[in-house]
Chains A and B, each alone.
Chain A
């Protein structure tokens, strides 16, 4: 029986949810403004709902992984985010974990190819 489309969608969303923190931290190694962060994630193939992205940025900032500041650009006040040294350290740890998971999954599914 084929897997139902909405079930696949649910599993896909679940799978991507954890990886978004990694993507956001990775993208913020260089300073970005919220809106351009979202477009760059989208261009990289990881579109994220705005309603989820900005609260996530706030949470990461509260956790001390990001820092932000308001600056005027193109005649508008914008909030710019970037990684803190702690954020950079956590990003390194998460990337190592990500690679380990990826390798494990590859090993486990090699026979499927």
Chain B
């Protein structure tokens, strides 16, 4: 009897609490009936091993209790292909972002190679696990809420991304260009937000070059600008037919770049040089001020030219 109580106790532990008492009472009765039948057939009481065998036939307590729960799967068979698709895309995207971040760290952070690499791989593993967990939780919530049924009831073939055409018509380099732009954009944002640092200049002679205060003012405009470019790449990849939106994003991001360039041009300094040797500091500051002033104008000009080129290419695209 001790064995049966132990078994039922283990089942009860995992049952929905509101129904546990009732279910256990029924299971206890069924086990007793099964034992009685077996004893009747054998003409003698069952020994402990035989009772244990009957309980094994009933099933593992977790399996038995699990069947009484309304929810038996985290993500059902219908939702699984959607989950798997999103998981693969997101993991691939974040793997590229992490690779960009790690490469950036190795190339410019000045950390020893293996230290930068192991730190980068550790960060990548953390990010990918977190992304995987968040997507799994999100899809578990979708399963629970039954949103897939709502989506399946109203999806239209016309809304599917035009990936087939994009892949067939374009050369491989062009085909995946938007995806790399997205990954690099997100990698840049990670750096911009302080995920890793890039020293502006070698630290020799106690000389340092840091960003001027104007960059604090430009922090959010730059974030918005990069997101606009990411959005443009996304639309270009998934909805190439949305030409008006693409044109709008090209114009908006160019206007943003020009506005940021104008602010930088008007600023007294873009970087600040500091060091012990005042004469050397002044000399480097002066040449950097001059060089960066020209660089800002060149960037603005390239951006305007790029805008014209992109709009022309958009206009020339078939359809």
Contacts and interface: CB of A to CB of B under 8 A. Distances in A.
A47 to B, nearest CB: 12
Contact of B63 (A34, A51, A76, A78): A51
A76 B23 CA distance: 15
A51 B29 contact: no
A49 B63 CA distance: 12
A4 B286 CA distance: 81
A35 B33 contact: yes
Given A35-B34, A52-B67, A58-B19, A77 B25 contact: yes
A76 B33 CA distance: 9
Interface string B53-70: 000011100011001100
B59 A54 contact: no
Nearest to B57: A50
Most buried by B among A50, A52, A70: A50
Interface residues of A, number: 14
A34 B32 contact: no
A79 interface: yes
Given A50-B58, A58-B23, A77-B25, A35 B67 contact: no
A103 B85 CA distance: 39
Contact of A76 (B32, B34, B58, B64): B32
Given A50-B58, A51-B59, A79 B29 contact: yes
Contact of B27 (A52, A54, A76): A54
Contacts of A51: 58-59, 63-64, 67
Contacts of A55: 67-68
A52 B67 CA distance: 7
Interface in A28-79: 34-35, 49-52, 54-55, 58, 70, 76-79
B63 A54 contact: no
B29 A76 contact: yes
B218 interface: no
Contacts of A35: 29-30, 33-34
A14 to B, nearest CB: 12
B26 interface: yes
A76 B19 CA distance: 20
A91 to B, nearest CB: 23
Nearest to B63: A51
A85 B64 CA distance: 29
Given A35-B33, A51-B58, A58-B19, A79 B26 contact: yes
B26 A34 contact: yes
A20 to B, nearest CB: 13
B166 to A, nearest CB: 39
B168 to A, nearest CB: 37
A49 B34 CA distance: 13
A55 B33 CA distance: 18
B29 A78 contact: yes
A35 to B, nearest CB: 4
Contacts of A50: 30, 57-59
A49 B30 CA distance: 13
Interface in B1-54: 19, 23, 25-27, 29-30, 32-34
A58 B30 contact: no
A79 B59 CA distance: 21
19 contacts: A34-B29, A35-B29, A35-B30, A35-B34, A50-B57, A50-B58, A51-B59, A51-B64, A54-B27, A54-B30, A54-B67, A54-B68, A58-B23, A58-B68, A76-B29, A77-B25, A77-B29, A79-B26, A79-B29
Interface of A: 34-35, 49-52, 54-55, 58, 70, 76-79
Closest 6 CB pairs of A and B: A55-B67, A51-B59, A35-B33, A55-B68, A79-B26, A51-B64
